[in-house]
């Protein structure tokens, strides 16, 4: 199966299982092998698993970790994994209630771990398939560690030097920054509504570098404006190419909190857009509006007057969401994926989603549900009256030239998806 996966272009991955129940280990291992995963290390003793991670003998792409273990429980294990510098993905597994799982999931994310999600025992094979599929989209951890052992805290060859301020400055001027675009579609009929532009760094030796590796560097070294203009220019040019191909699409771009303290920011954005007919929306996180409220209100108001859309991103993860909705001229609210995925099965998430949608509707604000990963997510958010959807179930971030082909394929899919609701 592993050879078949490689032949079909599917990257093989390395999995670690940690659970004190030998029957569960055998069961999940069999399910993984049925999905084509053959590189599996199973541990009944959490201490031995931690020793393997800390020793750096092998980097695993994903760890499935039970929470209910007698010697070291899952919460302690998460703490130790973070301290050991584990950089792969993590799936939490337990028979505990959904709220406990969600709390531990948030804890793991706060400790800097890449949490794919949480699952209750027993895990069905379709849930495993989803986790493994998402793991294969991440940079390979197994390939980053040489035989005999570079520590997993180290980066893949070429990445250690790719994110200094000087390197980033050169990358911006040399045109190494590119954008991938994730589609957003109407929940009413599945029609393509627009795309979100997501910056990437096409590094000559490190490959495709994700923004979490360099955006903070840009902000800390006065490069965020140059980064923002590079993204905006590339996106506007790409939108013109799409228009020539028959796709006239609104585009969303993430705005840094650093930009929202410069009073001339709206003028600079408007000049950059110039005569380009593309509808631009700036996605702003709640936290970026908290630094200087008067300045943020000034900038947001002028952006709105210039007909530049405003979206409040990751809604619900900040500290003053209601005040932001009351005071700022938002056109759109993006529900964070942590509230959306799996909400149909959880009363607490449903309460958050449905109250947010209802409130936005009363304020005349469109709602985008992020993190749509399966038909169940789609069916649920559509039933709430939510306007738009974005997530891997619809389409992953892709280069601009791939979007027309995706759009053709999506038109073939969307009828069945909408009818299933």
- The tens digit of pLDDT for each residue in 73-98 reads 888 888 888 888 888 899 988 887 77
pLDDT tens profile 331-380:
999 998 889 988 998 888 999 999 999 999 999 999 999 999 999 999 99
Instruction: Set out the domains of the chain in order of their start, with CATH numbers.
Output: 2-144 (3.40.50.2300), 165-419 (3.20.20.450)
CA torsion through residues 365, 371, 235, 408, sign: negative
332-335 vs 366-369, strand pairing mode: parallel
Q: What is the dihedral of CA 201, 206, 207, 213, to 10 degrees?
A: -40
Residues 307 and 343: their CA atoms lie apart, in Å, by 34
pLDDT score recorded for residue 107: 85
Euclidean distance between CA atoms 338 and 25, whole angstroms: 28
CB 240: neighbour CB atoms within 10 A?
13
On whether the CB atoms of residues 397 and 181 are closer than 8 A, the answer is yes
pLDDT (0 to 100) of residue 196: 97
How far apart, in whole angstroms, are the C-alpha atoms of residue 154 and residue 144?
Answer: 8
Q: Give the helix/strand (H/E) hosting 82.
A: helix 74-83
Interatomic CA distance for residues 258 and 280, integer angstroms: 19
- With cut-offs at 50, 70 and 90, classify the pLDDT of residue 215: confident
Asked, as a colleague might, if the bond just before 104 is cis with ω within 30 of 0, I would say no
According to DSSP, the β-strands at 177-186 and 398-399 are antiparallel
**Spatial distance between the Cα atoms of 104 and 115, rounded to a whole number of angstroms:** 10
Distance of CA 115 to the CA centre of its chain: 11
Rounded Cα gap, residues 278 and 242, in angstroms = 10
Secondary structure class of 310 (helix, strand, coil):
strand
112: exposed, middle or buried (C-beta count within 10 Å: 0-12, 13-18, 19+)? exposed
Q: In Å, what is the CA distance from 199 to each residue of 149, 183, 233, 378?
A: 32, 14, 12, 26
How many other C-beta atoms are found inside a 10 Å radius of the C-beta of residue 269?
22
Check residue 160 and give its pLDDT. 44
Which DSSP category does 317 fall into?
Answer: S
Q: What is the pLDDT of residue 139?
A: 62
| Local confidence band at 208 (pLDDT 50, 70, 90 cut-offs) | confident
Scanning 112-223, the segments in alpha helix (DSSP H) are 125-136, 165-173, 215-220
Cα 107 to Cα 80: distance, rounded to the nearest angstrom? 13
For 272, residues 6+ apart whose C-beta sits below 8 A from its C-beta are 229, 232, 233, 236
- Do residues 13 and 135 make contact, with C-beta atoms less than 8 angstroms apart? yes
What are the two backbone dihedrals, phi and then psi, of residue 365, each rounded to the nearest 5 degrees?
A: -110, 135
Mean predicted lDDT score pLDDT of the chain: 85
Convert the pLDDT of each residue in 223-237 to its tens digit.
988 999 999 999 999
More confident site: 363 or 10: 363
Sequence-ordered alpha helix ranges (H) in 120-160:
125-136
Identify whether the C-beta of residue 67 lies closer than 8 Å to the C-beta of residue 97: no
> Which tens digits make up the pLDDT trace of 166-203?
999 999 999 999 999 999 999 999 999 999 999 999 98
Maximal C-alpha separation, the chain = 65
Output the pLDDT for position 154.
37
pLDDT band, very low/low/confident/very high, at 385 (cuts 50, 70, 90): very high
- Return d(Cα 142, Cα 294) in angstroms, integer: 48
14 pLDDT above the threshold of 70: yes
């Amino acid at each position: 199966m592993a050879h078949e996966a490689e032949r079909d272009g599917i990257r093989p991955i390395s999995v670690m299982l940690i659970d004190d129940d030998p029957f569960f280990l055998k069961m999940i291992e069999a399910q993984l092998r049925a999905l084509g995963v053959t590189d599996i290390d199973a541990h009944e003793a959490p201490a031995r698993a931690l020793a393997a991670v800390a020793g750096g003998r092998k980097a695993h792409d994903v760890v499935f970790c039970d929470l209910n273990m007698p010697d070291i429980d899952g919460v302690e294990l998460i703490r130790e994994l973070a301290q050991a510098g584990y950089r792969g993905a993590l799936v939490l597994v337990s028979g505990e209630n959904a709220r406990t799982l969600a709390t531990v999931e948030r804890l793991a994310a706060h400790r800097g771990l890449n949490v794919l999600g949480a699952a209750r025992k027993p895990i069905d094979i379709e849930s495993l398939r989803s986790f493994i599929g998402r793991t294969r989209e991440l940079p390979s951890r197994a390939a980053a560690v040489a035989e005999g052992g570079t520590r997993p805290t180290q980066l893949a060859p070429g990445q250690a030097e790719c994110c200094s301020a000087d390197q980033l400055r050169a990358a911006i001027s040399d045109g190494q920054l590119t954008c991938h675009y994730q589609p957003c579609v109407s929940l009413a009929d599945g029609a393509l509504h627009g795309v979100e532009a997501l910056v990437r760094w096409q590094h000559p030796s490190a490959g495709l570098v994700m923004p979490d590796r360099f955006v903070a560097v840009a902000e800390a070294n006065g490069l965020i404006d140059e980064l923002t203009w590079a993204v905006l220019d590339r996106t506007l040019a790409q939108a013109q190419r799409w228009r020539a191909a028959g796709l006239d699409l609104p585009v969303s771009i993430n705005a840094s909190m650093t930009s929202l303290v410069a009073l001339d920011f709206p003028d600079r954005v408007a000049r950059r857009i110039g005569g380009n007919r593309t509808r631009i929306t700036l996605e702003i996180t709640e936290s970026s509006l908290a630094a200087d409220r008067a300045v943020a209100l000034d900038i947001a108001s002028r952006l709105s007057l210039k007909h530049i859309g405003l979206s409040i991103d990751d809604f619900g993860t900040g500290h003053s969401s209601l005040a932001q909705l009351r005071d700022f001229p938002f056109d759109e609210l993006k529900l964070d994926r942590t509230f959306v995925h799996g909400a149909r099965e959880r009363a607490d998430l449903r309460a958050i989603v449905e109250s947010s949608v209802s409130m936005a509707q009363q304020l005349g604000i469109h709602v985008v549900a992020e993190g749509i990963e399966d038909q169940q997510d789609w069916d649920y958010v559509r039933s709430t009256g939510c306007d738009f959807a974005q997530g891997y179930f619809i389409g992953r971030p892709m280069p601009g030239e791939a979007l027309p082909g995706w759009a053709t394929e999506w038109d073939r899919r969307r009828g069945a998806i909408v009818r299933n609701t």
